[in-house]
């Protein structure tokens, strides 16, 4: 036998004998804390699995369980009168006075996402556990814990079924009758427990009528459970039932006891009285008891094996649309995830970890963001997806729209999970409903917007508790513009005209209308925003004054450019609203322009001021580069260079999501090696707990991103960053491998999506594409920009303006070259495609 086959055989055998899987996060010890526990979920129900031996902890969530109730849409009446005063102060450059007055334009804080409670599996085992193993297998969305005590192996499997809306927990012992445990429940909320039978436990309770954000500490009571009006305070009903066991089951309020079993299967489900963002969850709530009973009784009619089969089929329908392999010839790394991350942090190569991180991002979206179905609302993934154990979680675990809520959905379209985008898209409609009243009540203006925080109640007002919040974050008014990009992108990827006409366009138009009303003439020929902030940074004026409120920050102008451009293109596609389109075209021409500062950077502020914190985590002024499309190395090279300079000045440090955003920026600058450097830093193992705004970042042992604390946006931004390194389609062409790092010399990606309804498979070796498959759903001219050369029937060098409407470039005063401009080693082709057809392109040898 030669050396190599022997080694291969050894590897196969050792992998098989330890049961370790390549698409799994696995560990040799239980989770010591939440950041080591493993998330499973079906979009609605979420569980953090700790894998403890004697007292297994399953921390539960239901996505609609929030504190509060419908928002007060006019919480601070009469404040619109201060806006002219703010503007007057700004135009006489009294920024301190302007900031003070801006604080008068504030309303109430958002409410907070709530935990449901814990299910604790108490297994009175003496002796030491050996052969301990736990994992989260993302090929079947199942968490397994296994260990041996006194010669008996105990196994627990847990998954959350989307088709059947239950959590399934299956416990087994290798020795007949050795399984004894009590399934106990507890909640941070007041609950009552009832016992409908010897095998079932029901918990009923109420979420708080209000919970202050964790950074508000001046109220006597931060969490209030009662609402004298009977409106707020969402009810919940949560049930645990034995599906089957060969042992004895008995139940009292202390829990469900199973004795002398070899196997026991528990079904767990929950429902709340949430009845929509504008309905009182208490007085006008849904019948949560009936909902939970129905989920459970339907599931009880099916065996665990059947539920598992249907769960896996449902999960794989989404998960298996894509795959990514990087440098497959690299030796596999067969280590527990904590050790694997440590090894990677120390500098070792592990391309399979990088592709696993991408797959894990898709797993998280599938597990935390499911479209609405009958009876289920479909709420967007919040700051923590759907996983939160705290009544006052960091930043209320809400929807933060000055980066975080959007970042959650950056991978949705490109990573072939378009329908998982719809919870956010649907939610925009709710925010717009309150947002229309916010713009009227706070500014006396039309259209709609949402400020930097929102919640399940569609909150849209500037937060800050009527003057107590810093305007650097509370008064940022551009959420409607940013969210509108998601409305447009969903169309740009899918070409769904019915959706564009009936749903997205009216909302985009409303967001654009607010921006039209919000802009003001600076008397020097430009339209500016005032007040204006650059989240959440502070400038230093020539006089040394520090402030955050000024006029026409670059981010504001870039966001308005974006929403105007997208709305103009949408109205062209729909061939409607020519008058409104013309208004937008006229205003767009007068927008205060992007500027290059004295350091050669893309300027952040109206004037070329210094930053109080030059390395601030937000890099808001590069919105135009990503996720916007105003700046691109292909079309506006001078501005792209300025953006690069900005990133160099900002530096590579940053919290979780900040680092993820920078990966996307560097990918958009076509600098794969720099993007890769940051990806490696994002995956740096951290155990840092608590909150750190400025430093920190990294990845916890459970592969969730650390702000710190945990925030899921960093995972999603990292996922989209990898996508942007492989394929871009925002600036007039399909740009294949635009930011491939040297470290990914070879690879294969399948199922990546591009705008205009294209789906691509790409294989590359030595940095050159060897095979590309283009599947077209909408047809049209597919213009490909590729490293190297490709051949295929019908593939021609590109000529003229790309006639594909999904690749039309918005009118721009900055464009100095076309995206087809050839550079060394890059070819640009046209391929005429027809809907439903596939095309195979082969790399020249």
Sorted by sequence, the CB contacts under 8 Å of residue 625 that are 6+ apart come out as 631, 632, 640, 643, 665, 668, 669
Does residue 616 bind ligand FUC (CB under 6 A)? no
SS (H, E, C) 91-147: HCCCHHHHHHHHCCCCCCCCCCECCCEEEEEECCCCCCCEEEEEEEECCCCEEEEEE
CB 639 within 8 A of CB 596: yes
**Interface residue with ligand FUC, options 95, 448, 473, 716 (CB under 6 A):** 473
Q: How far is the CB of 395 from ligand FUC (least distance, A)?
A: 4
Nearer to ligand FUC, 395 or 606 (CB): 395
Q: How far is the CB of 46 from ligand FUC (least distance, A)?
A: 19
Which of the residues 486 through 525 are near ligand FUC (CB under 6 A)? none
Q: How many other C-beta atoms lie within 10 A of the C-beta of residue 219?
A: 11
Nearer to ligand FUC, 61 or 404 (CB): 404
Nearer to ligand FUC, 695 or 796 (CB): 695
Q: How far is the CB of 536 from ligand FUC (least distance, A)?
A: 5
Nearer to ligand FUC, 141 or 706 (CB): 706
Nearer to ligand FUC, 539 or 564 (CB): 539
How far, in Å, CA of 741 to CA of 678, rounded? 11
Nearer to ligand FUC, 205 or 709 (CB): 709
Per-residue b or e along 482-509, where b marks 16 or more CB atoms closer than 10 Å to that residue's CB: bbbbbbbbbbbbbbbeebbeebbbebbb
Does residue 396 bind ligand FUC (CB under 6 A)? no
Please choose, out of 331-339, 356-364, 400-408, 675-683, the segment that lies near ligand FUC by the rule CB under 6 A: 400-408
Does residue 536 bind ligand FUC (CB under 6 A)? yes
Does residue 395 bind ligand FUC (CB under 6 A)? yes
Total binding residues toward ligand FUC, as defined by CB under 6 A:
11
Please choose, out of 241-249, 302-310, 397-405, 425-433, the segment that lies near ligand FUC by the rule CB under 6 A: 397-405
Nearer to ligand FUC, 67 or 513 (CB): 67
- Which residue, 671, 669, 656, is CA-closest to 718? 656
Contact letters for ligand FUC, residues 647-676 (x by CB under 6 A): --------x---------------------
Q: What are phi and psi of 492, to 5 degrees?
A: -60, -30
Q: What are phi and psi of 612, to 5 degrees?
A: -60, -40
Does residue 707 bind ligand FUC (CB under 6 A)? yes
Token pair in block for residue 797 = 């060098």
Nearer to ligand FUC, 102 or 397 (CB): 397
How far, in Å, CA of 261 to CA of 252, rounded? 18
Per-residue b or e along 103-131, where b marks 16 or more CB atoms closer than 10 Å to that residue's CB: bbbbbbbbbbbbbbbbbbbbbebeeebee
SS (H, E, C) 753-788: EECCCEEEEEEEECCEEEEEEEEECCCEEEEEEEEC
The radius of gyration of the chain from alpha carbons, rounded to an integer in Å, stands at 27
Does residue 239 bind ligand FUC (CB under 6 A)? no
Contact letters for ligand FUC, residues 710-729 (x by CB under 6 A): -x------------------
How far, in Å, CA of 172 to CA of 56, rounded? 14
Q: Which residue's CB comes closest to ligand FUC? A: 395
Q: How far is the CB of 214 from ligand FUC (least distance, A)?
A: 11
Token pair in block for residue 164 = 């059947």
Q: How far is the CB of 410 from ligand FUC (least distance, A)?
A: 15
Question: What is the residue-wise DSSP string for 454-476?
Answer: E-TT---S--STTTTS-HHHHT-
Q: How far is the CB of 695 from ligand FUC (least distance, A)?
A: 12
Alpha-carbon dihedral 301, 304, 307, 313, rounded to 10 degrees:
-160
Q: How far is the CB of 709 from ligand FUC (least distance, A)?
A: 10
Please choose, out of 156-164, 395-403, 420-428, 620-628, the segment that lies near ligand FUC by the rule CB under 6 A: 395-403
Residue 832, exposed/middle/buried by CB under 10 A (0-12, 13-18, 19+)? Answer: middle
How far, in Å, CA of 43 to CA of 423, rounded? 10
Nearer to ligand FUC, 193 or 707 (CB): 707
Q: Which residues pair with 157 in a beta bridge?
A: 144, 170
Q: How far is the CB of 453 from ligand FUC (least distance, A)?
A: 8
Token pair in block for residue 279 = 């309905």
Residue 599, exposed/middle/buried by CB under 10 A (0-12, 13-18, 19+)? Answer: middle
Nearer to ligand FUC, 245 or 402 (CB): 402
Residue that has been written with the tokens 């139940």 in this structure: 251
Q: How far is the CB of 28 from ligand FUC (least distance, A)?
A: 32
Nearer to ligand FUC, 503 or 665 (CB): 665
Q: How many alpha carbons fall within 13 Å on the CB side of residue 628? A: 27
**Interface residue with ligand FUC, options 89, 116, 270, 383 (CB under 6 A):** 383
Q: How far is the CB of 677 from ligand FUC (least distance, A)?
A: 22
Q: How far is the CB of 324 from ligand FUC (least distance, A)?
A: 27
**Interface residue with ligand FUC, options 102, 114, 269, 404 (CB under 6 A):** 404
Q: How far is the CB of 454 from ligand FUC (least distance, A)?
A: 12
How far, in Å, CA of 788 to CA of 790, rounded? 7
Does residue 136 bind ligand FUC (CB under 6 A)? no
Does residue 693 bind ligand FUC (CB under 6 A)? yes
Sorted by sequence, the CB contacts under 8 Å of residue 195 that are 6+ apart come out as 201, 202, 251, 252, 253
**Interface residue with ligand FUC, options 23, 110, 273, 400 (CB under 6 A):** 400
Alpha-carbon 708 to chain mean position: 16
Which of the residues 766 through 795 are near ligand FUC (CB under 6 A)? none
Q: How far is the CB of 707 from ligand FUC (least distance, A)?
A: 6
Q: How far is the CB of 713 from ligand FUC (least distance, A)?
A: 7
Calculate the alpha carbon distances from 411 to 494, 773, 783 in Å: 14, 21, 22
Q: How far is the CB of 403 from ligand FUC (least distance, A)?
A: 6
Residue 401, exposed/middle/buried by CB under 10 A (0-12, 13-18, 19+)? Answer: buried
Q: How far is the CB of 693 from ligand FUC (least distance, A)?
A: 5
Does residue 111 bind ligand FUC (CB under 6 A)? no
Nearer to ligand FUC, 686 or 776 (CB): 686
Reduced to 3 states, what is the DSSP secondary structure of residue 451?
A: coil
Q: How far is the CB of 417 from ligand FUC (least distance, A)?
A: 23
How far, in Å, CA of 460 to CA of 453, rounded? 7
Residue that has been written with the tokens 């909320």 in this structure: 189
Nearer to ligand FUC, 203 or 474 (CB): 474
Which of the residues 146 through 165 are near ligand FUC (CB under 6 A)? none
Does residue 215 bind ligand FUC (CB under 6 A)? no
How far, in Å, CA of 759 to CA of 749, rounded? 11
Does residue 106 bind ligand FUC (CB under 6 A)? no
Please choose, out of 225-233, 399-407, 480-488, 559-567, the segment that lies near ligand FUC by the rule CB under 6 A: 399-407
Q: Using CB under 6 A as the criterion, which residues of the chain lie in contact with ligand FUC when the complex forms?
A: 383, 395, 400, 402, 404, 473, 536, 655, 693, 707, 711
């Amino acid at each position: 036998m030669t050396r190599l086959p022997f080694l291969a055989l050894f590897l196969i055998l050792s992998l098989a004998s330890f049961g370790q899987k390549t698409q799994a996060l696995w560990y040799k010890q239980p989770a010591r804390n939440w950041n080591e526990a493993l998330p499973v979920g079906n979009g609605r129900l979420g569980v953090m699995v700790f894998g403890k031996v004697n007292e297994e902890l399953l921390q539960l969530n239901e996505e609609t369980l929030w504190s509060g109730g419908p928002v007060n849409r006019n919480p601070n009446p009469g404040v619109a009168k201060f806006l002219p005063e703010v503007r007057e102060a700004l135009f006489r450059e009294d920024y301190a006075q302007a900031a003070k007055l801006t604080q008068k334009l504030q309303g109430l804080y958002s409410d907070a996402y709530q935990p449901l409670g814990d299910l604790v599996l108490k297994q009175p085992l003496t002796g030491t556990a050996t052969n301990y193993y736990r994992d989260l297998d993302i090929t079947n969305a199942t968490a397994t814990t296994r260990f041996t005590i006194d010669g008996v192996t105990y196994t627990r499997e847990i998954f959350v079924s989307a088709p059947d809306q239950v959590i399934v927990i299956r416990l087994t012992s290798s020795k007949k009758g050795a399984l004894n445990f009590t399934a106990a429940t507890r909640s941070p909320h007041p609950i009552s427990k009832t016992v409908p039978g010897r095998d079932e436990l029901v918990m009923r309770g109420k979420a708080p009528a209000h919970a202050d954000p964790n950074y508000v500490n001046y109220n006597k009571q931060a969490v209030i459970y009662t609402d004298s009006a009977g409106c707020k305070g969402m009810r919940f009903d949560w049930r645990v039932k034995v599906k089957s066991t060969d042992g004895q089951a008995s139940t009292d309020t202390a829990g469900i006891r199973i004795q002398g079993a070899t196997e026991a299967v528990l079904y767990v489900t929950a429902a709340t009285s949430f009845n929509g963002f504008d309905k009182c969850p208490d007085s006008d709530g849904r019948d949560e008891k009936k909902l939970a009973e129905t989920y459970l009784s339907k599931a009880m009619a099916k065996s665990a094996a059947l539920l598992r089969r249907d769960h896996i089929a449902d999960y794989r329908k989404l998960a298996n649309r894509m795959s990514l392999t990087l440098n497959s010839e690299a030796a596999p790394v067969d280590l527990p995830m904590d050790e694997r991350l440590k090894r990677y942090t120390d500098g070792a190569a592990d391309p399979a970890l990088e592709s696993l991180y991408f797959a894990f991002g898709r797993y998280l979206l599938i597990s935390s963001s499911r479209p609405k179905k009958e009876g289920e609302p479909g709420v967007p993934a919040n700051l923590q997806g759907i996983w939160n154990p705290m009544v006052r979680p960091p930043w209320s675990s809400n929807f933060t729209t000055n980066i975080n809520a959007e970042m959650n959905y950056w991978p949705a379209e490109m990573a072939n999970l378009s329908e998982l985008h719809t919870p956010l898209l649907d939610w925009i409609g709710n925010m717009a409903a309150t947002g229309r009243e916010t713009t009227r009540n706070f500014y006396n203006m039309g259209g709609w917007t949402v400020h930097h925080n929102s919640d399940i109640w569609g909150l849209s007002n500037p937060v800050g508790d009527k003057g107590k919040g810093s305007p650097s974050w509370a008064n940022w008014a551009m959420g409607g513009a940013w969210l509108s990009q998601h409305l447009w992108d969903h169309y740009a990827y899918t070409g769904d005209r019915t959706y564009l006409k009936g749903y997205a366009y009216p909302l985009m138009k409303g967001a654009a209308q607010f921006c039209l009303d919000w802009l003001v003439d600076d008397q020097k020929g430009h339209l500016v925003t005032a007040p204006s902030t650059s989240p959440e940074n502070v400038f230093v004026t020539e006089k040394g004054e520090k402030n955050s409120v000024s006029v026409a920050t670059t981010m504001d102008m870039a966001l308005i450019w974006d929403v105007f451009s997208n709305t103009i293109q949408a109205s062209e596609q729909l061939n409607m609203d020519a008058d409104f389109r013309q208004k937008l075209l006229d205003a767009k021409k007068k927008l205060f322009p992007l500027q290059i500062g004295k350091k050669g950077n893309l300027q952040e502020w109206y004037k070329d001021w210094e930053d109080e914190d030059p390395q601030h985590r937000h890099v808001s002024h590069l919105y135009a580069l990503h996720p916007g499309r105003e700046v691109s190395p292909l079309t506006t090279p001078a501005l792209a260079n300025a953006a690069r300079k900005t990133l160099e000045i900002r530096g590579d440090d940053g919290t979780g999501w900040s680092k993820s955003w920078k990966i996307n920026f560097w990918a958009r600058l076509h600098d794969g090696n720099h993007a890769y450097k940051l990806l490696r830093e994002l995956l740096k193992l951290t155990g840092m707990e608590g909150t750190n705004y400025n430093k920190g970042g990294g990845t916890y042992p459970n592969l969730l991103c650390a702000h710190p604390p945990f925030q899921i946006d960093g995972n999603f931004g990292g996922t989209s960053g990898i996508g942007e390194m492989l394929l871009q389609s925002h600036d007039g062409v399909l740009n294949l491998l635009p930011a491939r790092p040297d470290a990914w010399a070879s690879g294969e990606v399948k199922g990546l999506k591009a705008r205009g309804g294209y789906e691509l498979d790409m294989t590359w070796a030595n940095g050159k594409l060897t095979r590309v498959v283009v599947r077209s759903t909408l047809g049209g001219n597919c213009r490909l920009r590729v490293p190297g050369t490709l051949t295929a029937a019908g593939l021609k060098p590109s000529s003229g303006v790309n006639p594909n409407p999904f690749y039309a470039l918005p009118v721009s005063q900055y464009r100095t070259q076309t995206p087809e401009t050839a550079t060394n080693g890059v070819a640009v082709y046209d391929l005429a495609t027809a809907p439903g057809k596939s095309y195979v392109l082969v790399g020249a040898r």
